[in-house]
Amino acid sequence: MARRSDHSRFELKEMAIKAACRIITEGGLKSLSIRRIATAMGYTSGTLYQLFENLDELILEVIISTVEDMYSELAALKTDNDPEANLLLLAQGYRDYSIVNKNRWNAVFVYSQPDARPMPERYQSAVQKLVGLAARALEPIFRNHDRSDELAFQEARVLWASLYGIVSLDSAQKLSNFEPIDDIIASLVTNYVAGLRARQV
């Protein structure tokens, strides 16, 4: 078994987060425990308690890492100046990520802080960056408005929340009697963009 001196504190934290991500990927959030993470790292549970206050703190790191990973994948998509096309591309990328990384994606939205504590600022910042991709796609619609950035971000939050609802229902297999999810997502984006454009006339 590795000794504490084999890795720095930063390296141990990174190892713990990666091990937790693997465990969640394989078995979901319910399969996660300090002991399993420590075993996967080749360290003792005591080592993890020197790095994190408790399992909840480590889960938060996994959640932030997942949101940041999703952002990196969506930010790499090639977009142009067409709001609708860009939003459809981002929405499809969002759905694809949720399928490929189903258990990690579900963990982001299933987990809640004990005692109803708010999520930390780092999580909020990561989500804002993710929503910001949709906001940038919407900005051309508001280019003649003096509050274009603010309005685009407000509408992006509504659109992203709607997309999450659709993807969540699909993940839970509760859309089986509806049209294919790709058609539902396309309808959401197309109608939402058309409504925003109509309001600017």
Please tell me the class of the 62-200 domain. mainly alpha
Total-model pTM: 0.88
What's the rounded Cα separation, in Å, for the pair 24 and 27? 5
8 A C-beta contact, residue 87 and residue 159 = yes
C-alpha distances out from residue 182 to 103, 148, 187, 189, Å: 21, 29, 9, 11
Cβ atoms of 29 and 110 within 8 Å: the answer is yes
122-163, pLDDT tens digit by residue? 999 999 999 999 999 999 999 888 888 999 999 999 999 999
Digit-coded pLDDT (tens) for 87-132: 999 999 999 999 999 999 999 888 888 888 888 999 999 999 999 9
CA distance 48 to 16: 8
pLDDT at position 201, please?
A: 67
Q: Which residues contact 47 (CB under 8 A, 6 or more apart)?
A: 4, 12, 38, 41
Which CATH number, 1.10.3470.10, 2.40.40.20, 1.25.40.20, 1.10.10.60, labels domain 1-52? 1.10.10.60
Q: Which helix (H) or strand (E) covers residue 148, if one does?
A: helix 148-171
- 94: Cα separation from own chain's centroid: 8
Q: Give domain limits for the chain.
A: 1-52, 62-200
